[in-house]
Amino acid sequence: MRRFLIPLVGIAAAASLAACHDAGIGQCFESGATAYNVAANGDTTKIFHWLGPDMPVRVYAEPVDSLTQNVLRGMQLWTSAFRCNELSLQQWTDSTTADIVFRNPSFLPPVPAARANLVTGDSVGACFGRTDFAPLDSLGRLPRPIRSYVAPAGTDTAATSACYHFVVAHELGHGLGLFAHSTDPNDLMYTQPKHTALSLDDRYTIQLLYHFDAPIKPALR
């Protein structure tokens, strides 16, 4: 399992400063929360989020078992984290034109050889999840789609189904720009997620991220 780090201290400080001058911006953030790290491999140049022109972000779910239902639930979780409508997501039925693609294979596929150094993997006992990001293009932009996979780790159908419930939402968090993991087991973005809802810190972290001018931009559609 890969642990991604970067401090969000700079983002938090910028947000706090902005809030001092603009009460409207301040209303966009949770109070009494702590942001966790979001960037890949401790590299502050590897921070990403979707931009206004990308909205709504198109999310495709392979129509297998409960995957579509779990992806829709994850979409609702993350969009509800925002107070100022910074993110909108749309269920998309065409995987070839989607921004984020979810699949439910029997086994996780091999990690692509020509991958960006942004891949994240999660194992929660009953299931596995992984999100793959293509190498940045010549302009330093992140190609579409981001690809997420969830696969069973054993034969216990009930345990697998329960595991999918929160691992899908966790992987969607990666696809929205939370490249790192939280170190707090109460957060959905913990290294091995155990909760089905967003914590206060999950919400605060992604709120801050979407008010930050991230170095990595999405490639054009």
Q: 212 with 37: CB under 8 angstroms?
A: no
Average pLDDT over residues 117-130: 78
pLDDT (0 to 100) of residue 215: 96
Enter the pTM of the model: 0.89
pLDDT (0 to 100) of residue 115: 61
Average pLDDT over residues 132-149: 95
Domains of the chain: 9-209 (3.40.390.10)
Q: 120 with 38: CB under 8 angstroms?
A: no
Q: 62 with 150: CB under 8 angstroms?
A: no
Beta strands 57-61; 100-103: pairing state: parallel
In angstroms, what CA-CA distances link 190 with 22, 121, 177? 32, 12, 15
pLDDT at 172 over 50: yes
pLDDT (0 to 100) of residue 122: 73
Strands in 57-61's sheet, in edge-to-edge order, are 89-92, 57-61, 100-103, 146-152, 127-132, 120-123
- Chain centroid, CA 176 distance in Å: 4
Encoded amino acid at 82, one letter:
F
Encoded amino acid at 177, one letter:
G
Using one digit for the tens of pLDDT, what is the confidence trace for 33-47?
999 999 988 889 999
Using one digit for the tens of pLDDT, what is the confidence trace for 58-104?
999 999 989 999 999 999 999 999 999 999 999 999 999 999 999 99
The two structure tokens encoding residue 158 = 């009930």
Please state the φ and ψ torsions of residue 90, each to the nearest 5 degrees: -135, 130
Average pLDDT over residues 199-214: 97
pLDDT (0 to 100) of residue 114: 62
Q: Where is pLDDT greater, at 123 or 37? A: 37
The neighbouring-strand residues paired with 182 are 190
Q: Model confidence at 209, in pLDDT bands (50, 70, 90)?
A: very high
